[in-house]
Amino acid sequence: MEQLEIPTFIETIDEFEIYFTPLVEYNPIEGSMDDELAKDTIERVESGELVWFCAKVTAWKAGVELGEDYLGSCCYESFKDFYTTYKEDYYADMRDRAISQGKAKIKRLLNDPSQSALSAIKDNLNG
């Protein structure tokens, strides 16, 4: 998916670095809400008052992306509003899911009997 901006570091939780990236939203505004609201939203997006995007939140450790979550059809006054003003809305859930995925991936890799998988994760975690 095409990025609209470079990933933005948001915070560190449980030693995971959390990033937000706005992506191009390919779902049209029409059909995502009632017709009257869609018309107003399209006008406001076209004028720059609002942004329409797909949110991507990722969890990284030792330079490796270990978890991710996506939410499409986001509409805010700015990309930043998604993870600041409305932080406890969708962003918090997405962050928690990305961290959970990251923890599960580390556990799977550390329990993998394959020497290459174990070496790769140890190298990345030890920096």
pTM, rounded to two decimals = 0.85
- Local structure of residue 62 (DSSP, 8 states): T
The residue-averaged pLDDT of 106-119 equals 72
- Local structure of residue 87 (DSSP, 8 states): I
pLDDT for the residue 110: 83
Residue 44, Ramachandran bin (φ over 0: left; ψ between -120 and 50: alpha; else beta): alpha
pLDDT tier at 119, thresholds 50, 70, 90:
low
The residue-averaged pLDDT of 99-106 equals 95
Do 19 and 8 touch, CB atoms closer than 8 A? yes
Q: Which residue has the higher pLDDT, 41 or 126?
A: 41
Residue 29 to residue 21: CA distance in whole angstroms: 20
pLDDT at 123 over 80: no
Q: Which residue has the higher pLDDT, 38 or 118?
A: 38
pLDDT tier at 109, thresholds 50, 70, 90:
confident
Tens of pLDDT along 62-87? 999 999 999 999 999 999 999 999 99
